[in-house]
Homo-oligomer: A and B are copies of this chain.
Amino acid sequence: MRAILISIGNELTLGQCLDTNSPWLSQQLAAIGVPVRMHITVADDLNEIRTAIERAAREADVVILTGGLGPTEDDLTRSAMAAAMGVPLVLHRPSLDQIEAFFARRRRTMPEANRVQAMVPAGATPIENTCGTAPGLHAQLGGAEVFAMPGVPREMMVMYERAVRPALAARARGRILLTRTLHTYGAGESDIGSRLADLMQRGRNPAVGTTARQTVISVRICAIGDNPRQARDLLEADAAEIRRRLGELIFGEDDETLAEAVARLLKAGGRTVATAESCTGGLVAKCLTDVPGSSRYMLNGFITYSNASKVRLLNVPEELLARHGAVSAPVAEAMAVNARRISGSDYALSTTGIAGPEGGSVDKPVGLVYFGLAAEDGCEVQERRLGSELTREEIRERAMKFSLNLLRLRLLRTGSA
């Protein structure tokens, strides 16, 4: 059983939107044993959509369309499916009732335009949309199962999970492909690669590969099994082996961020943190407070962007600023130590550096950042040259990660987790 995905919309062929539906569906389908052979994107054009459906139905067992189910004249997926099937569109009364009920719940009258969303190709089955007005469609075309879903990602995802996945999973006889990603921080891609070289050999199952994104090296495991149990076992065995080899370099899996990993350790140990940021300008605190329940560990933060504010808010001695400059190890230390003392927190993180694009010099180039981590037993200071060729955004992002990782390693090593 192989699938072809068809995304529909002028906004896609004009390049005004990224297609996130096809990647999401590809992963979902692979996990139930329906590999995706091809993605096709076409404009809101009846003939283009019809031709794409007819061709895909000849070349794949499953065809999934997204988009073009709205109430406007641009929305041609229903008509294109009817044309491909050689049947007329007919009114599906229960769908019309559902659409009217959708508006009634919002205390609105259904606009007449939405009536067209209850039209289905004769012989096709509508799929209920629990999040919006456009029902999906399910039909047979030649030997292929054809599904049409809305283009709005959330509506599509819910519809896939409620209706499409169950329908396909029951019949899929293909091999199951499961993936997991382990995220590491602190080593380069070639270092990670050499530690995992035997697992990364071509043709091995699971397939193991690395990708680098803004200093986070992610290890992707892709296991194929004849059934879900076998795929799961292969995946778990590799994940355990990679965890054993990479140890504390790994901070999380799949969607987990470095901030979430730090939050988990802080909560587990009942510890608190404060921040004192110059070049990152609030980014470290923002990431620490991205996590629900962050009031349990985040006490407060200082953004001391100007020299005067380092003196006024954090009591950094003026003499220190004059002697070493704001971007220096002694200032990073004073910022962290004083932020911890003023806040009454277990830890304090500080950053001071040159995010660019201006403000660099030969001695202190763009990308130079000092990091402080103050704790009960003193203050650790690190210097990093993050690279003057990077953008301001990259430098700030990397500085944030380095700062959070300093705290993560400290929490791991003090066994507070």
The answer to whether A14 touches B38, judged by C-beta atoms less than 8 angstroms apart, is no
- Which of A40, A41, A299 is packed against the most chain B CB atoms within 10 Å? A41
Interface residues on A, range: 35 or more
In the complex, whether A342 has a CB less than 8 A from a CB of chain B is yes
CB of A275 closer than 8 Å to a CB of B: yes
CA distance A290 to B396 in the complex (A): 9
Q: Taking chain A's interface residues, is the majority helix, strand, or loop, or is none over half, making it mixed? A: mixed
Contact with B along A280-322 (1 / 0, CB 8 A): 1111111011101111001111111110110011000000000
Nearest residue, chain B, Cβ from A59: B51
Out of B12, B282, B343, B358, name the residue touching A285 (CB < 8 Å).
B282
**Min distance, Cβ A202 to any Cβ of chain B, angstroms:** 7
Residue contact B27 to A13, C-beta cutoff 8 Å:
no
Contact B312 A342, beta carbon cutoff 8 Å: yes
8 Å CB contact of A30 from B14, B35, B343: B14
B302, A300: Cβ atoms closer than 8 Å: yes
Residues of B within 8 A of A285 (CB): 281-282, 286, 303
With contacts A16-B220, A37-B48 known, is A305 near B309, CB below 8 A?
no
Asked if A155 is at the interface (CB within 8 A of a chain B CB), the reply is no
Asked if A179 CB lies within 8 Å of chain B CBs, one says yes
Name the contact of A42 in the complex, choosing from B25, B38, B202 (C-beta under 8 A): B38
Q: Does A367 contact B (CB under 8 A)?
A: no
**A55 to chain B: closest residue by CB:** B55
Q: Do A38 and B41 touch (CB < 8 A)?
A: yes
Residue in B closest to A220 when the chains form the complex, CB atoms: B16
Q: Which residues of B contact A300 (CB under 8 A)?
A: 302-306, 309, 312-313
Interchain CB contact under 8 A, B293 and A286: no
Q: Is A20 located at the chain interface by the 8 A CB criterion?
A: yes
* Contact residues in B for A305 (Cβ distance below 8 Å): 289, 294-295, 298-301
Closest to A41 in B: B39
Residue A392 lies at the interface, judged by CB distance under 8 Å to chain B? yes
- A220 to B21 CA separation, bound complex (whole angstroms): 22
List B contacts of A43 (CB < 8 A).
37-38
A15 touches B26 (CB 8 A): yes
Asked if A19 CB lies within 8 Å of chain B CBs, one says yes
A23 / chain B contacts, CB cutoff of 8 Å: 12, 15-19
Q: Apart from A281-B285, A293-B358, A302-B303, list 20 A-B contacts with CB within 8 A.
A: A13-B39, A14-B26, A14-B179, A15-B27, A16-B23, A16-B220, A18-B20, A281-B288, A281-B294, A282-B284, A294-B305, A295-B359, A298-B303, A298-B306, A300-B302, A300-B306, A301-B303, A302-B313, A312-B342, A313-B342
Please list the residues of chain A having a beta carbon within 8 angstroms of any beta carbon in chain B: 12-20, 22-28, 30, 35-43, 48, 52, 73, 177, 179, 202, 220, 222, 275, 277, 280-286, 288-290, 292-295, 298-306, 308-309, 312-313, 342-344, 356-359, 392-393, 396
A-B contacts, 27 of them at CB < 8 A, read A13-B26, A14-B26, A14-B179, A14-B222, A15-B27, A15-B30, A16-B23, A17-B23, A18-B20, A37-B48, A38-B41, A38-B42, A39-B41, A275-B303, A277-B282, A281-B288, A282-B286, A282-B301, A289-B396, A290-B396, A295-B305, A295-B306, A298-B306, A300-B302, A300-B306, A301-B302, A302-B302
